[in-house]
Amino acid sequence: MTFQQDKTPLRPFRLAPFFSPRIWGFEDLSPWFDLKRPGDPVGEAWLTGDQCLADTGPLAGQRLDEIVRDYQAMLLGADYVAPTFPLLLKVLFPKEKLSVQVHPDDAMAQKYGDPRGKTECWYALEAQPGATVALGMKPGSTPDKVRAAILDGTLEDWVEQVPVAPGEMVFVDAGTVHAIGPGVVLLETQQNSDLTYRMYDYGRPRELHIDRSIEAMRLHTSAGKIPPVAENGYTKLIDVPYFRVDRFTLEVSGDGSLPGSESDGGRFNDRAQVLFVSDGEVTLFADSSPEEPIRLARCQTAIVPAHAGPWSLTASSRAEVVRITPQPGPAAR
C-alpha cells in the first residue's frame, strides 16, 4: 500500500497510548496491551490524546498537542486551524455497563463555552456472542417520559438495544442517547472532545446531568450500523462529517512486500492520516526517513502528516490496518 505526497516532508511517527482509569474497566488489558494495574481498572486506551507522546523519530518525547502547535500546517493540512488534533481515537474495554449518556452537537457545546461537540463511531475489534450496545430511543419516547424514566430508574427500558459482531461499524452522531455494554472491545473515533452528559448510571455514585442531557438529546438521529463498502481494494467503513474510517487487509507477496496499488489516487494526501493496526504487524516506510522504518504491532498507532512525502506499508504476515482520516464538519462541506 503506497501513498504519494509532494510537499515539505514531516516524518510519520508512532504514538504511545495513554491509559485512562475507569471504574467500569479492567485491571489487565491483555492480550490487547501489556498492561496490568491491580486495584486501578483501566477502561480506555487513548491513542491520539493530547498527552500521548511520540515515540519515534525527531519528535520522540513530545506530546501530541505540542506537535500540533509547532507543526500545525504540515501535520494537519490547510483545512484545519485548531490547537489540538481534530480526532481522539480510543480503544474501549468495558467490563461493566457504561452509563447511559448523550453528547452535545457543536452548536450546543459552543452555547456553553466549549469549542466542539462530540460525534463518534465504534468499530468492533471483538464482540462476544450476545453483546449489545444501547443506541437511540424507542418509539413513543418524549423528553418528559425520558426525564421521568431517569428519575425512577427505568431509562434502560426506553433505549434500543443493538447487537454487535466483530468487524461491524456503529455510527453515534451527537444527540444520540447511548451506552456500551460488556463483552466488546471497541475502537472509538470521535471529535476531540470529552463532553459527556450522564443520564443514568445504575445507582453508581456519579453525578448525573439531567437538564443538559435532555437538552442535548435528539429522539431521531442517524445512529446505527453502517454497512461496509468495497472500494479500490480496501473497505470503507464510514464516511461522514468529521471523520472517515477505512480498513485494509494486507497480504504478503512472494518477496515479502505488499502487492497493493496506489490507494485513493492520493485524494487524502492533503490531511493527516492515522494508522491503527487491528491485527498482525506492519512496517511503515517513508521517503523522508528511509533509514528509520517504523514497526507497528497490534494495537499500535502512527500518524502520517499531511505533508509527509511518499510512504508505504509492508507486512511479514497477513495484517489488518484501520485508517482514520479527519474530515471537515458539516458546515465546511
Give the per-residue pLDDT at 332.
54
Domain boundary (226, 259, 288) is at: 226
pLDDT-based confidence at 308, cuts 50/70/90? confident
pLDDT in tens, 3-50: 444 445 789 999 999 999 999 999 999 999 999 999 999 999 999 999
Q: Looking at the domain assignment, is residue 68 inside a domain?
A: no
pLDDT over 50 at 255, yes or no? no
Could you tell me how many helices (H) and strands (E) the chain has, helices first? 4, 24
**CB of 280 within 8 A of CB of 315?**
yes
pTM of the model: 0.93
- For residues 113-132, give the mean pLDDT: 97
Judged by average pLDDT, the poorest of 38-52, 84-98, 267-281 is: 267-281
Give the model's confidence band at 317: pLDDT under 50 very low, under 70 low, under 90 confident, else very high: confident
Domain match, 214 and 272 both:
no
pLDDT above 50 for 70: yes
Angle made by CA atoms 318, 324, 328, in degrees to the nearest 5: 160
Distance (Å, whole) CA 207 – CA 198:
7
Same domain, yes or no: 270 and 167: no
The answer to whether residue 62 is domain-embedded is no
Whether residue 97 is found in the same domain as residue 237 = no
Task: Report the CATH number that the domain containing residue 174 is assigned in CATH.
Answer: 2.60.120.10
Q: Do both 47 and 120 map to the same domain? A: yes
Distances (CA, A) of 249 to 185, 260, 269, 274, 318: 20, 10, 20, 16, 7
Q: What percent of the chain has pLDDT over 70?
A: 92
Q: Which of 192, 226, 260 is the last residue of a domain?
A: 226
The reply to whether 219 and 232 lie within a common domain is: no
Range of the domain at 281: 2-8+227-332
Please count the structural domains in the chain. Answer: 2
Q: Which residue has the cell 463555552?
A: 113
| Weakest mean pLDDT among 69-73, 178-182, 257-261 | 257-261
At 116, is the pLDDT very low, low, confident or very high (cuts 50, 70, 90)? very high
Q: What's residue 128's pLDDT?
A: 97
CA distance 199 to 149: 10
pLDDT tens-digit series, residues 190-222:
999 989 999 999 988 899 999 999 999 999 999
Query: Is there a single domain that holds both residue 214 and residue 239?
Result: no
Looking at the structure, do residues 107 and 189 belong to the same domain, yes or no? yes
**Residue 261 pLDDT greater than 50, yes or no:** no
Q: Is the pLDDT of residue 333 over 70?
A: no
Q: Do 129 and 209 belong together in one domain?
A: yes
Task: Show which of 172, 196, 226 is a domain's final residue.
Answer: 226
